[in-house]
Structure 1
């Protein structure tokens, strides 16, 4: 009986010490490949674009949100040839102008570009066919967000009027706020937001991406070496802890941008002091389940990025002598 009791005790204690099935621990990310010489520069055709400009894939076009522009706020390029097409989106406070540029989203079905104006808390609708053929074309208002206390999408991916996935800003007490991923019914205004907050991260500052094909939402933490994966209903699949994970915080900046290419998660990474760093110069590559594959050393500071799956390219806005460039992903990952 004593032997049976001891065996049962060993089994019980082993169970108590078992690892969290929803946790992945990565002690090192050392498979580093230098890709600086593989970056191909994108010629912007003498169009002056500000230093902070975010690329978006919009059907057969590359849209660039130009946050520093003093005139037109969005630049449009042919995605295949990367040749300049036109600029649109007048800056200002008028009924068809943009006061504070936010995100750009693409409605493939209606051939519409949606441009968020955070200043006037609304989304402007630009029909691309009309924009390309009518020099006097003016956008219409797709929707309004309401007052400054309402939750609103900081960035989102449009699927249809009843389904978008994105990163949402939730106003809190004392003029604070938190960020979270989730889905949004643009037609009704209903939001199904991820309510999970890691115990170490009460402020939740994240970058977001998703894969409809792989039923996965990705939240990459800006202040912790932490990536959280969810299904499209917002249920936690796993937390991925990196080599610099510290539940008390390490006062470093970590993830900056995130995107999905086929079955890979690509994230830009800093890993230096939160207030004094050289920006994100590395790209970590994971499989869709969060397992680490490799690190791409870009050699330049990456401001923003997006994936062009049609042409197998990662397009980047860089803070360097090359302002826009791309990597041929199929040759690298």
Structure 2
């Protein structure tokens, strides 16, 4: 068990560190000179009665908020009502059993539709399994077991999966070198049902480093940000580069000692990029949100005040849920009201 737990935290560390030519797309150069201090607008989200550790991540659906506690040794996923914040229950057992999760990836929810309720995807990097949970059943039946979709290759596997539909999405493809923790990441298409991996965009157009990305299918948009360069890539769903957004600190070569864009997300109106701009030895997670519209036009920079570990937007309420590196840990921010503040 000791070696299993050690392997768990080694892989968590790896995960946490998350077709056209140039003449066909444009570069946007941004000054980013409109900063809004929104620290007084941040509201604590009460996760009681569950005690959640520091390695926590978020997911949302129409009527639920999910907090995944990847460091838990009990239930990994905690569920709350999106309207009133009421705790609804927990599911997904930690462990080394056949239907348990040893090292969880970042959370993925396929929202409810006319055919099914919320489905929660768990990628387990300990036993190299992909599970899908019917959330309503998992919350009601104590002996519920998830469906194992497939077994993964231990040296090449998906991470940070983001769905385009019920079976296909985009993912970081992680390749590990045998007997090493050196990794290579590539943005790819991944089919949950078959395990098929296909190229998303040409090598020259791939985001570099431990990039973060978000998908907006209804806008035919994929956005990816690089941690080592002040740049954001905008693609269509076919992998064609639409634009590149270069910030004021952009350099052509990666800067390994500086953390720039540490996380990518979106709302129903905007692209959100967590920005740091400080030496990695001082701070890794950014404490500011760069807000762009879906065409890459700069709107504002929101000063959150504390490092942002993770974030997820909930469209029905207009709230951005965040995990902060401070005593509050889980907070919300009304993005639209924040942008109206002078």
CA contact (8 A) 1:197 1:204 kept: no
CA contact (8 A) 1:196 1:236 kept: no
Distance 1:58 1:142, change over 3 A: farther
1:138-153, aligned counterparts within 5 Å? 138-145=145-152, 147-150=153-156, 152-153=157-158
Out of 233, 248, 254, the position equivalent to 1:249 is 254
CA contact (8 A) 1:178 1:203 kept: no
* Aligned residue in 2 for 1:4: none
CA contact (8 A) 1:59 1:106 kept: no
* Aligned residue in 2 for 1:9: none
Matched, 1:131 2:138: yes
Out of 329, 336, 340, the position equivalent to 1:323 is 329
CA contact (8 A) 2:49 2:87 kept: no
What secondary structure sits across from 1:181 in the alignment?
A: strand
* Aligned residue in 2 for 1:212: 217
1:49-101 per-position Cα deviation (integer Å, ceiling 9, x unaligned): 01121110134211111122222111111111111111222211101111101
* Aligned residue in 2 for 1:300: 306
Shift of 1:193: 2.8
CA contact (8 A) 2:132 2:146 kept: yes
Out of 171, 174, 185, the position equivalent to 1:166 is 171
Shift of 1:198: 5.1
TM-score, normalising length: structure 2: 0.84
Distance 1:20 1:195, change over 3 A: closer
Runs of 4+ in structure 1 over 6 Å off:
none
How many Å separate the matches in 2 of 1:202 and 1:316? 24
Max radius of gyration: which structure? 1
Out of 232, 237, 240, the position equivalent to 2:242 is 237
How many Å separate the matches in 2 of 1:211 and 1:100? 27
Deviation larger for 27-36 or 244-253: 244-253
Shift of 1:162: 3.5
Unaligned segments of structure 2, at least 5 residues: 1-21
Which structure has greater strand proportion? 1
* Aligned residue in 2 for 1:8: none
* Aligned residue in 2 for 1:310: 316
Q: State how many pairs are aligned.
A: 312
How many Å separate the matches in 1 of 2:139 and 2:155? 36
1:159-188 per-position Cα deviation (integer Å, ceiling 9, x unaligned): 434422333324469954332333322223
Q: CA RMSD in A?
A: 2.3
Unaligned segments of structure 1, at least 5 residues: 1-18
Matched, 1:118 2:125: yes
What secondary structure sits across from 1:268 in the alignment?
A: strand
What secondary structure sits across from 1:132 in the alignment?
A: helix
Shift of 1:27: 4.7
* Aligned residue in 1 for 2:10: none
What secondary structure sits across from 1:331 in the alignment?
A: helix
How many Å separate the matches in 2 of 1:177 and 1:59? 35
